Structure 1
Amino acid sequence: MDPKIKWWKLKEDELRVLFKERVLEVVRLYEDVQEWLTENSKVILRIGEEVLGKSSGRTPNDKELWWWNDEVQERVKNKKEAKKKAYLSGQEQDKANYKQEQKEAKRALAKAKAETLNEVYKEMETPE
């Protein structure tokens, strides 16, 4: 697994302010949207790596994603239990229940991640 930038550290006020200041110093406007996106993406990734650091690339055994909340954990737990039941029983109803739990877990995870990222982006936009 490749090392990843530790974006979850943007929850820390000090690092978020430092990251925002550094990005705003370097980000430039370009006439072409594609050029703007390409060049500023490189800047954001470089500054993210410098300010926030990178992971070791190993996946810890007790992996817990930073945007997971209680609802996501409960949905994933229900999904795992439904999968186990479907596997052991082999009944169509249990398989259908597992598929439903799987959809609900994905939905809860996507919602939690989007909400958390929106909070981070809003905080970055707020002038200090």
Structure 2
Amino acid sequence: MDPKIKWWKLKEVKLRVLFKERVLEAVRLHEDVQEWWTENSKVILRIGGEVLGKTSGRRAPNDKESWWWNDEVQERVKTKKEAKKKADLSGQEQDKENYRQRKKHEEQ
């Protein structure tokens, strides 16, 4: 997985202002629209990486927010996810119904 720019940091006012200022300084006008888009998109991505930073590129851990759940809940979630995956891959009505039942059981 490639590192991603942390665009969500634009919610912070200081970073948003800095990003905007740097982009406006670096953006250039071109007569050709395609050339304008190509060049300025590179500028925006470069400045975004510099100002906002990038992720490590490593994948988020599986079920990163479920570590505190007890074993029974973790097992239910796991079986529901497996049923969902099987239903999506097979497309069979029986697998879809199995997933619906597990999902309904989990919500109770």
Q: What band does the TM-score fall into relative to the shorter chain?
A: 0.5 to 0.7
Give a deviation string over 1:22-63, Cα, whole Å, max 9, x none: 101111111100000010011001100110111111112128
Unpaired segments of 5 or more residues in structure 2? 66-78, 87-91, 101-108
Determine helix, strand or coil for the equivalent of 2:34: helix
Q: Using a 3 Å threshold, how does the CA distance of structure 1 residues 84 and 22 change in structure 2: closer, same or farther?
A: same
**Structural RMSD (CA):** 3.2
By how many angstroms is 1:5 displaced?
A: 1.1
Q: How far, CA to CA, are the matches of 2:85 and 2:53 in structure 1?
A: 42
Q: Using a 3 Å threshold, how does the CA distance of structure 1 residues 82 and 4 change in structure 2: closer, same or farther?
A: closer
Q: Using a 3 Å threshold, how does the CA distance of structure 1 residues 45 and 99 change in structure 2: closer, same or farther?
A: farther
By how many angstroms is 1:81 displaced?
A: 3.7
Correspondence for 1:50 = 50
Contact 2:83–2:99, Cα closer than 8 Å, also in 1: no
Q: Using a 3 Å threshold, how does the CA distance of structure 1 residues 20 and 94 change in structure 2: closer, same or farther?
A: farther
Any residues of structure 2 matched to 1:33-48 within 5 Å, and which?
33-48=33-48
Q: How far, CA to CA, are the matches of 2:56 and 2:48 in structure 1?
A: 15
Counterpart check, 1:84 vs 2:86: no
By how many angstroms is 1:8 displaced?
A: 1.2
Structure having the larger proportion of residues in helix: 1
Correspondence for 2:25 = 25
Q: How far, CA to CA, are the matches of 1:46 and 1:55 in structure 2?
A: 14
Q: Using a 3 Å threshold, how does the CA distance of structure 1 residues 48 and 85 change in structure 2: closer, same or farther?
A: closer
Q: How far, CA to CA, are the matches of 1:86 and 1:3 in structure 2?
A: 26
Q: TM-score, normalised by structure 1?
A: 0.51
Unpaired segments of 5 or more residues in structure 1? 64-79, 101-128
Mark the structure with the bigger radius of gyration: 2
Percent identity, aligned pairs only, is: 65
By how many angstroms is 1:15 displaced?
A: 0.7
Runs of 4 or more, structure 1, over 2 Å off, are 80-87, 92-100
